[in-house]
Chain A
């Protein structure tokens, strides 16, 4: 040990060990306070979009177009029960699958997770109305697809409905390893909203 450092060693030896703990605690508290203390950071509000605007979540670009209420909507996949006075609440939405594999619109984490606020938390029936055939809808990568998401609701709940809030989601993709095989989506969370006016469709016999 060179002689010129001996004064430093002697000085450190004179500092009581207790001071170190106190000093370290003080520094920690000062740094914590400088970053806003232990209060949680306020979460930024979720994005809100209007009709025709696009929200991206769960690798889907979702563009809600319009919301309709009808006594009956052909090819929607749902048949309202006249006896209990039901209506078909439908969201027309453009969806583009941004991942690199095809995804079923009805699968977990896909378009089936979209909801209308204030209505039961159930998955919609999904159809491509332009094909005039209710069938399983697959979203091919990068191919924009217009789908209709429909829910059966009670007529009372939609009687005076002028605007609805569409709840859009995000999710995380997992790749199965040992037991699971393939890719799947999970951890679905609400990530955005779209406010849309509600259009009342005339009864089926008037449509042509």
Chain B
């Protein structure tokens, strides 16, 4: 009896074991995942080559810029100071993820997005995100990095409780300049 049951029991144990091994096996992408640096508003977050201080998060239904450009819609604006650590680099990675949808910083107006950061002297400016209507609920995850390919690079991560934002009628994208404070 024992001899007959043993192969069956062993098979079941091995199958379940294989299922667990498969469950906990990391995917191929894990080896190249970015290093997340948690940030909070008002305090400096330091990554490998990027240093960011998020100053304020604003929401607006009309956005203007110093060049005279303006657009209606649902906008989220992030004011920040940013600098690099060792070399001049462009700030080209800025995404906001809300409920599984990933948005990229808007290229429609002049902002600090895609401008040059330098080591040691922070630049200050605004990054704007154009969002679908009624999407400012739940939690937004802001990711900032130098390149838009973030593999094995550090990424500044800020969690934004969107329900706490009040949407103003009009907000402006700040002129990108040297930070004075």
List the interface of chain A (C-beta within 8 A of B): 100-102, 128, 130-133, 135-138, 140-143, 177, 181
Contacts and interface: CB of A to CB of B under 8 A. Distances in A.
B164 interface: no
Interface string B91-111: 000000000111110111100
Contacts of B107: 135-138
Given A131-B109, A141-B132, A143-B131, 17 more contacts: A101-B102, A102-B102, A128-B108, A131-B69, A135-B107, A136-B107, A137-B107, A140-B104, A140-B106, A140-B129, A140-B131, A141-B102, A141-B103, A142-B135, A143-B73, A181-B149, A181-B151
Contacts of A138: 104, 106-107
Q: On chain B, which size bracket covers the interface?
A: 20 to 34
Nearest to A102: B104
A133 B73 CA distance: 19
A131 B132 CA distance: 18
Interface string B143-164: 0000001010000000000000
A130 B130 CA distance: 15
A140 B103 contact: yes
Interface string B44-82: 000000000000000000000000010101000000000
A132 B69 CA distance: 8
